[in-house]
Structure 1
Amino acid sequence: RAVREAVSLSASDALAQHVVDLNARDVPDLLRQLNGRTVTTSTGNVTLATAQAPVVMLEADWRSHFLAVITDPNVALMLLMLGMYGLFFEFANPGFVLPGVVGAISLLIGLFAMQMLPISYVGLSLIFLGIAFLIGEAFLPTFGSLGFGGIVAFVIGALMLMDTDVPGYGIPLPMIAAVAVFSVLFVLGVSRLALRARRRPVVTGSEGLIGSVGVVLDDGLLAGA
Structure 2
Amino acid sequence: MLKKTGILFLIFLWITAVGAVFAKDAGPLFHVIELNGVITSPSAKYVAQSLEEATAAKAEGLIILLDTPGGLDTAMRDIAKSILNAPLPVIVYVYPSGARAASAGVIIAQAAHVAAMAPGTNIGAAHPVAIGIGGSGEMDKTMAQKMENDAAAYARSIAKTRGRSEEWVEKAVRKSESITADEALKLNVIDIVAADIEKLLSAIDQKTVTVAGVKRKISTVDAVLDTKKMGTRQGILAAISNPNIAYLLLLIGLAGLYFEFSTPGAILPGVIGGISLLLAFFALSTLPVSYTGILLILFSVILFIAEIKIMSHGMLTVGGVISLALGSFLLFDSPEPALRISLQILLPAVLLASGFFIVVILLAVKAQMRKHYSGTEAMIDGRGKAATDIHGEGKVFFQGEYWTAMSDREIPKGARVRILKVDGLKLVVEEIKEDN
Q: Which range, TM-score by smaller chain?
A: 0.7 to 0.9
- Give the superposition deviation at 1:14: 0.5
Deviation at 1:160, TM superposition (A): 2.1
CA deviations 1:124-183 (Å, max 9, x no partner) are 222222232233234323344433332332222222222533333321334333222223
| Shift in alpha-carbon separation, 1:196–1:142, aligned structure 2, 3 A | closer
Describe the shift of the 1:132–1:24 C-alpha distance in structure 2 as closer, same or farther (beyond 3 A). Answer: same
- Which residue does the alignment assign to 2:208? 37
2:294 to 124, 145, 153: 124
Distance apart, 1:198 and its partner CA: 1.6
Mark the CA change 1:19 to 1:125 in structure 2 (over 3 Å): closer, same or farther: farther
Amino acid at match of 1:147: T
Aligned residue in 1 for 2:361: 191
Which residue type is aligned with residue 227 of structure 2? Answer: M
Show the 5 A alignment for 1:42-53: 44=213, 46-50=215-219
Of the candidates 250, 270, 279, which is equivalent to residue 100 of structure 1?
A: 270
Deviation at 1:189, TM superposition (A): 1.5
Residue in 1 that maps onto 2:125 = 2
Q: Which moved more, 1:52-61 or 1:68-77?
A: 52-61
Which of 327, 337, 340 is matched with 1:167 structurally? Answer: 337
Q: Which residue of 1 aligns with 2:181?
A: 11
Distance across 2 between alignment mates of 1:135 and 1:142: 12
Higher deviation after alignment, 144-153 or 98-107: 144-153
Structure with larger Rg:
2
Report the equivalent of 1:72: 242
Q: Is the 8 A contact 1:3 1:166 kept in 2?
A: no
Deviation at 1:13, TM superposition (A): 0.8
State the one-letter code of the partner of 2:392: L
- Which residue pairs with 1:22 in the alignment? 192
Mean CA deviation greater in 121-130 or 3-12: 3-12
- CA 1:138–1:208 in 2, change beyond 3 Å: closer, same or farther? closer
1:58-92 CA-to-partner distances (Å, cap 9, x unmatched) read 22122233233323322221221111111111111
Q: Which of the pair is proportionally richer in strand?
A: 2
Structure 2, unaligned stretches of length 5 or more? 1-123, 128-174, 395-405, 407-436
Residues 15 and 91 of structure 1: CA distance in aligned 2, closer, same or farther (over 3 Å): same
Q: 1:68 & 1:32 partners in 2: Cα distance?
A: 32
CA contact (8 A) 1:138 1:188 kept: no
Superposition TM-score, scaled by structure 1 size: 0.77
Q: Which residue does the alignment assign to 1:114?
A: 284
Task: Point out the more displaced range, 156-165 or 100-109.
Answer: 156-165
Note the alpha carbon deviations across 1:92-150, whole angstroms, 9 max, x for none: 11122222222222222222222233322332222222232233234323344433332
| Paired-residue identity, % | 32
One-letter amino acid of the structure 2 residue matched with residue 182 of structure 1? L
Output the CA distance in 1 between the equivalents of 2:392 and 2:305.
53
d(CA) in 2 for partners of 1:81, 1:91: 15
Secondary structure at 1:88's aligned position in 2? helix
Residues of 1 paired with 2:378 and 2:313: CA distance? 32
Query: Is the 8 Å Cα contact of residues 209 and 218 (structure 2) preserved in structure 1?
Result: no
What residue is the counterpart of 1:146 in the other structure? 316
Moved more, 4-13 or 192-201: 4-13
Which of the numbers 375, 392, 399 marks the counterpart of 1:221?
392
Q: Is the 1:79–1:109 contact (alpha carbons within 8 Å) kept by the matching residues of 2? A: yes
Q: In the alignment, is the contact (CA less than 8 A) between 2:241 and 2:287 conserved in 1?
A: yes
Match of 1:204 in 2: 375
CA contact (8 A) 2:258 2:301 kept: no
Equivalent pair of 1:3/1:167 in contact (CA under 8 Å) = no
SS across alignment from 2:350 = helix
Out of 47, 61, 82, the position equivalent to 2:252 is: 82
Write the distance in 1 (CA, Å) between the matches of 2:290 and 2:201: 41
What is the letter of the counterpart of residue 113 of structure 1?
A
Distance in structure 2 (CA, Å) of the matches to 1:213 and 1:54: 87
Pick one of 311, 323, 326 that aligns with 1:156: 326
